[in-house]
Amino acid sequence: MRHGLRSKRFDRDSGQRQALFRGLVTDLIGYEKITTTESRAKEIRRVAEKMVTLGKKGDLNARRRALAFIYDEKVVSKLFDELAGRFADRKGGYTRVIKLEPRQGDAAPMAVVELLK
């Protein structure tokens, strides 16, 4: 493994992995709570925290950067209008990961990722 890489590879090339993270973060911000595998949950938590930080900045450059990553424009609007105000007083730690029972089919460790209230 190369030095400096912190994210797991998830047996995908970088484009597929980026698309996976974009989809999961879009759903997390849109629904505010998603269920996924534990390793994916831990990885998208980092990206989701950065997106909320962009929402808190609120300037045009931050909005464009969020639009470049998040698939849905409505989700970006929710991030900048609703979530930025909710987390205005917090300096970080906008998400929570709760471990669940292993998945029935393959016993993969599952987790819920949610935005704090």
The predicted-structure confidence for 25-77, as pLDDT tens digits, reads as follows: 999 999 999 999 999 999 999 999 999 999 999 999 999 999 999 999 999 99
**Of the options 3.90.226.10, 3.90.1030.10, 1.10.3720.10, 3.20.20.70, the CATH number for the domain spanning 14-115:** 3.90.1030.10
pLDDT in tens, 83-113: 999 999 999 999 999 999 999 999 999 999 9
Q: Give the 3-state secondary structure of residue 104.
A: coil
Q: How far apart are CA 27 and CA 48, in angstroms?
A: 10
Q: How far apart are CA 90 and CA 4, in angstroms?
A: 28
CB 83 within 8 A of CB 115: yes
Domain ranges of the chain: 14-115
pTM, to two decimals? 0.89
C-alpha dist (Å) from residue 24 to 12, 30, 51, 60, 92? 15, 10, 12, 24, 20
Q: How far apart are CA 4 and CA 52, in angstroms?
A: 24
Q: How far apart are CA 83 and CA 56, in angstroms?
A: 8
Task: Tell me: pLDDT of 5 over 60.
Answer: no
